[in-house]
Structure 1
Amino acid sequence: MTSFAPFDPAAPAQEDGTLSGQDALTGLADAAAARAWLDAARGGAGIQAMLIGLNRFQAVNLAFGHGGGDRVLAEVARRIAHFAAEELGPAQAGDPAPLVARVSGGEFLIACGSPRSRERWQVLAQALGRSIARPLALGGDAVRLLPRIALLRGQAHEDGGALLDRLDQALAQLLRSGARRLAWADGSHRAGRRSAARLEADLIGALHRDEIAVLYQPQFRVADGALAGAEALARWEHPGLGRIGAETLFAVAERADQMAPLSQAIATTALAGASAWPAPLRLSLNVTAEDFALPDFAQGLLARADAAGFAPERLTIEITEQTLIADFEGCAAALRTLAAQGVAVALDDFGTGFSNFRTLKALPLDTLKLDQSLVRDVARDHRDRAILAAMVAMARALSLTVVAEGVENAEQLEVLAQEGVTLFQGFLRAGPLDSAAMARMAAGAR
C-alpha cells in the first residue's frame, strides 16, 4: 500500500483525536495539508492533479440524514485511496509521495509529482469515476453517485492556490453542465472519445493475444509467517501507456463490453500459474457482478480449474457486497454451487462501513477480508484495535477465517497476532509478484 502524504505519525493530536493535517471523517489529508503539499511540490511544474466532486451528494444527506452522508463519504474516500495506491504506485525518486485529500464536503483531490501523459491521466480519471460510481449499500438501498472530475497539469511556478482555483472552476462548470463528467482545467479535450475508442480496441486485441498478465499478492499465516497462498491481480502492459492496473483495466473492459472475457482470461491465466504450486497453497480470484450475470458462471469456473489441474478445494473466490447488489439471490445460488465443490468464498473489503449482516447469514462464506483501512492504525489507536478485536471475535463465532490486507509494519502484525487474525498480506512481507517469482516463493514453501 502506498503511503500518502502528508502525515507525520508524531504530529500532535487535535481535540477530536485526529492528527494535524488529517480529515477527521475520512482519515485523508485535509484542505490545509493539500494546499501545503501543492505549494511544496516543484512549484507546480510536473504536478498532475484531479479534483473529484460528488454530483447531487446533498440528496443523500436529505434522504438518509447526515449520518448516512458521512458513511457515503467515508466509503468514497476509501475507494479513492485504494485506487490511488493501486494505480499511481510509489513515487519515483525525488518526487513527493502521491497526495489524496478531502478538500471540502463532497470534494476530493488526488495529486502526484510523477509525470504521466495526458491520455493516461484521463484514462485513470475515467477508471476512478467508475470505481466511485459502483453502487453503495445504505439503509437497505443501493445508492449510486456519478462523480465529476476536473484534471490539470501544473505550470512552472504555479502555487497551490492557483492550481486549486483552476480545478475549482473546471469542476464547477462540470457540475453545472449536467451531462459531461470529465474535463481538463485548461479547456483541452485531446484525450477524448477517439482515444477511449482506441484503448478499447487495444484491449480487445490484447485479450485475443493473451497479453493480460497476472500478478500474485502472497498471503501468509500470522502465527508463523508461512506462505498460505496468493491473490491474483490483473495487469496490462499497454505498449503506449505503460502499466495499467486492475481498476483502470476493468473500466476499459466495461466500456468495451469485455468484462466477462477479461475475467475469464484472468482466471485461466491465474489457475495455470498456480497449478505448479505445492498443496495446500491456495489461489484467490476476484469475481465481479458481470461474472455472476453469466448463467454458467459457476460451471465455467470449475471447468477452468479442472483444465488447469487445480483442485477446487484450494480455490477461493473473493466477492464484495457491491457485487451482490444487482442480484443477491442469483449470486447466492452460484456461490452455493461452487461451495458444494469445495471452493471457498471470501467477503472482501469487510469493515468499510457497509457490511450487511444478512450477507454473513445468507451466503456460504468461509473468510472475511478486513480492509486495509482497519489495519492502518491498529498499533497506535485503541479504538481501531477495539474494532478489530470485535470483528475477529464475530468471525470466530461464525467459524470464519480472517485475512488482513495492507499490513506494512511489524507493529501492525504483532497486534494482528495478539487479536487472533489468521492470515495477512501486504508490503511488510511481499508486494505483488509475477508468475515466475511467485513460483519460486511457492517452491520454497514445500
Structure 2
Amino acid sequence: WFMAIPESAEPEELNQMILIRLHGTIWNHLMFGALYSGWAIQLFMTGDVSTQGLVVAFVGVSAFGIVLCLMHVRGAVVAYLGSALVPLIAFMWMSEETHFRTGAFIVIMVALVFVIVLNRYSRGFARMINQANLVKRQKLEAERLGKANLALANQDSLTGLANRRCFMSTLERRVNDVKSHRISGIAVGILDLDGFKLINDVYGHSAGDKLLVEVGRRLSALQSSRVYISRLGGDEFGIIVSNKMNDSELIEIGELLCDAIKAPFCVSGKKTHLGGSVGFAKWADQSDTGESLFEKADYALYHAKENERGGVIIFAAHHAEIIREVREVDRLMQDADFIDEMSLVFQPIVLPNTATTVGFEALARWNSPLLGNISPDVFIRSAERAGTINKITAFLLEKALGEAKKWPEDLFISFNLSMQDITSSEAMVRLIAIVNSSGFDPKRITFEVTETSIMDNYDTALLSLSLLKNMGCKIALDDFGTGYSSLSYVRALPLDKLKLDRSFITGIENSEDACSIVHTMVEMCQSLRLDCIVEGVETKDQLSILSAMGVKLIQGYYYSRPLCSNDAVDFVLEERRLDEFRESPMTQSDMAVIG
C-alpha cells in the first residue's frame, strides 16, 4: 500500500512510474533467484540424500508459488526461473548420480509446464489489459466527442456566443436560482438589430454574416459574471442579467449594448451603421417562469421597435394588460365566426387646396361581443400569428370593393395588405381573382404596403406588387420613414405613392427640423414623380404648412375621422353639393336668403 501509485498522476507520469516499478521487480527477482539457486546448490552439495530431496521439493514449491504470484509479470517470472532453476538443473545434470539427473529432468518438465502456463496466462492477461485500455480510450473519446457535441449544440457557430438552446436552459437555471434564493433577482432581455435586413440584402449574406460576427464580438466583450449574452437567431440576441437591480441600472446596461452596436461597421470596404432596440422583463414573483419572462421581454422589444426604435423598454404593468388582451384575441381567433364580426370604415383622402375628397382608405375594425372594440394593431398581429390574415384580407377586400361601387366613379379606394398577403402566391391569386370578379375598375384601387413587410421577403414581395401593378392597380408605400427608408428600394419598387407617417407631422408647427424633414421628403416624392400623401393632419396650422410645401394629398382628423360606408357616401355627396353651390351664379335674393 505504501508503494501505491497516486490516482491523480498524469498518464505519461503514470506510465513512467509503472515501467520503473516493473524493471525493479524483474531485477529484484533475478538477483533473488541467483541467491536462492546458490543456496540450494550449496545445501545439495553438503546435505545427505533426504536433505537433497527436500531441497528439490522446496525449490519446486517455491518456484510454483512465485510463478503463481507473479503470473501477471512475465518478465519477473522468467528472470526468477532463469536465475534460480537453470543453475540448479545444470548442477544436477552434470552429477554422476542417476537419481540427480532424473530429478533434473523432472524439474525441467515442471519448468516447461510453468513456462507454457505462464505464456498462455500472460497472453490472456495482455489481451484483457489491452481490451481494458481500448475500452478506456473509447470511453475517453466518447467523453471528448460528447463534450464537443455539447459545445456545438450550445454554441452559435457564427458568432461563438451561446445559442438559443443554451440561452433557454441557462434561463431556466437562473429562474430556479431565484426561486431557491441563490441569487436576488433576474432580468431577461432581447436585443434586435435595426437595419440589418437592409444591409444583408444590399451587400449579400456573406457580408451580413461578417457583420453578425463583429456584433457578436462586441457584445461578447460586454459579458460579465452578471450579464450573459447569446444569439437567439437571425439578428436577435438574448440577455440574462443576474441579481436584482433597479430600472435605471437595467436601462444603462441596455444602452451600453446599443452603443456598442452604433459604432460604425466596415462592410465591403464601406462604413455602415446599425442600431439596436432592447426589451427587458424583470422577475416579479414566484409565478414567473423562464418562458413568461421571455414572452414579456419579446413584447417589450416589440413596443420599443414600434414606438422607441433604438431605445430600451422595460416591461411594465400596462404591458401585462395588453398581453392579456392579446391572449384573449388569440383565443377568439380560433372561433370560425370571428370574421363576421369585422367591418370597415373609410377615411377621406383630400386635396388640401380645394378641400376635395379624391378617395378613401379602407380601415378594418373588429367589434367583439366579448371584448368590445379591438385595436387593429392587436388583431392584425394576432391574425398573422394564427395564420388567418389572408382569410381576413380576402373577406375585407371583397367587402370594400362592394362598398366602393356605390361611390362616384372618380374616387379611388386605398386598401392595406400585410406581409403574409404579398409573400404568399396563393393569397395573391385569390386577391387578383376578387378584383377581377368585383366589376370594380382596378385603376381605382391602391394597395398599401409597409416598408417592413417588403423587406422581410423582398424578391417575393416585388413579384406580387408587380402583378398588381400590371393589373392596373396602384401601389403605395405606407408609413414611409419609419422603417428602412432606402431610396434604392423606393426606386426599384413599382410605386405610385408614398405615405408619410403621422410621426413626422406631430409638432411640425413648432419645429423647424420637422418642417425641413417633411419638406425634403415631399421634394423627393416630386423628383421621383410619386404622389405624396401625408397622414395624421389634425390642425389648420399643419394643413397650412403642408399646403405651402406643395403637398398634394392629405389624410387626417382635420377633415374627417374614419366613416362607416353610408356616412362616407353622404360625406362625398354633401361635399359635392356644396362645391356646386359655391360655383353656381347667385342672385341678390339668393344672398339675402342665405343671409
**TM-score band (shorter)?**
0.5 to 0.7
Distance in 2 of aligned mates of 1:183 and 1:412: 36
RMSD, aligned CA:
3.7
Task: Provide the residue aligned with 1:280 in structure 2.
Answer: 410
Note the C-alpha offset of 1:217. Answer: 1.4
The structure richer in helix per residue is 2
Cα distance in 2, alignment partners of residues 71 and 63 from structure 1: 6
Match of 2:261 among 63, 77, 92: 63
Q: Does the Cα contact within 8 Å between 1:150 and 1:184 map onto a contact in 2?
A: no
Kept in 1, the 8 Å contact 2:422–2:465? The answer is no
Residue number in structure 1 paired with 2:237: none
1:71 and 1:205 map into 2 onto residues whose CA distance is: 42
* Consecutive unaligned residues in structure 1, runs of 5 or more: 1-50, 74-104, 109-124, 153-181
8 Å Cα contact 1:216-1:232 kept in structure 2:
yes
Number of the residue aligned with 2:382: 252
1:214 offset after TM fit, Å?
0.8
1:343 corresponding residue in structure 2: 473
Q: CA 1:107–1:425 in structure 2 vs 1: closer, same or farther (change >3 Å)?
A: farther
Deviation sequence 1:272-298 (CA, Å, 0-9, x none):
111111121111111111101221444
1:205 aligns with 2:334: no
8 A Cα contact 2:280 2:314, kept in partner:
no
Shift in CA distance, 201/106, structure 1 to aligned 2, threshold 3 Å: closer
Partner residue of 1:439 out of 553, 561, 569: 569
User: How many Å apart are 1:60 and its aligned residue?
Assistant: 4.0
Distance 2:419 2:404 in 1: 24
2:529 aligns with 399
Letter in 1 for 2:337: G
* Residue in structure 2 matched with residue 220 of structure 1 by the alignment: 350
Displacement of 1:62: 2.3
Matched pairs, number: 306
For 2:373, the equivalent position in structure 1 comes to 243
Q: Could you give the per-residue CA deviations for residues 399-424 of structure 1, whole angstroms, max 9, x where no partner exists?
A: 01010100011111011111011111
Q: What is the deviation of 1:196?
A: 5.6
Contact 2:498 2:530 in 1 (8 A): yes
Superposed CA deviations along residues 125-180 of structure 1, whole A, max 9, x for unmatched, are 999769548799x9xxxx9x99763325xxxxxxxxxxxxxxxxxxxxxxxxxxxx
CA–CA separation in structure 2 for the residues paired with 1:194 and 1:399: 44
Q: Which residue of 2 aligns with 1:316?
A: 446
1:252-271 correspondence to structure 2 within 5 Å: 252-271=382-401
Match of 2:317 among 151, 166, 177: 151
Q: How does 1:41-56 map to 2 (within 5 A)?
A: none
Counterpart residue number, 1:37: none
Change (3 A) 1:107 1:227: farther
Structure 2 counterpart of 1:198, one-letter code: R
> Separation in 2 of the partners of 1:126 and 1:242?
27
Cα pair distance change 1:279/1:129, threshold 3 Å: farther
Instruction: Give secondary structure in 1 for the equivalent of 2:485.
Output: coil
Q: What is the alpha-carbon distance in structure 2 between the residues aligned to residue 197 and residue 328 of structure 1? A: 28
How far apart in 1 are the matches of 2:470 and 2:388?
A: 29
Q: 1:334 to 1:194 in 2, by over 3 A?
A: closer
Identity percentage of aligned residues: 29
Whichever residue aligns with residue 495 of structure 2, its letter is L
**8 Å Cα contact 2:343/2:366 also seen in 1:** yes
Establish whether residue 368 from structure 1 lines up as the match of residue 498 from structure 2: yes
- The answer for unaligned runs of 5 or more in structure 2 is 1-246, 266-271, 282-295, 577-595
The letter for the 2-side match of 1:200 is M
Please, what TM-score do these two structures have when normalized by structure 1? Answer: 0.60
1:352 equivalent to 2:485? Answer no
Residue by residue over 1:107-142, the C-alpha shift from the partner in whole angstroms, topping out at 9 and shown as x without a partner, is 89xxxxxxxxxxxxxxxx999769548799x9xxxx
Contact residue 538 and residue 556 of structure 2 kept, 8 A: yes
TM-score normalised by length of structure 2: 0.46
SS in 2 for 1:379: helix
Distance across 1 between alignment mates of 2:543 and 2:517: 16
Take 1:310 and 1:222, find their aligned partners in 2: how far apart are those partners? 27
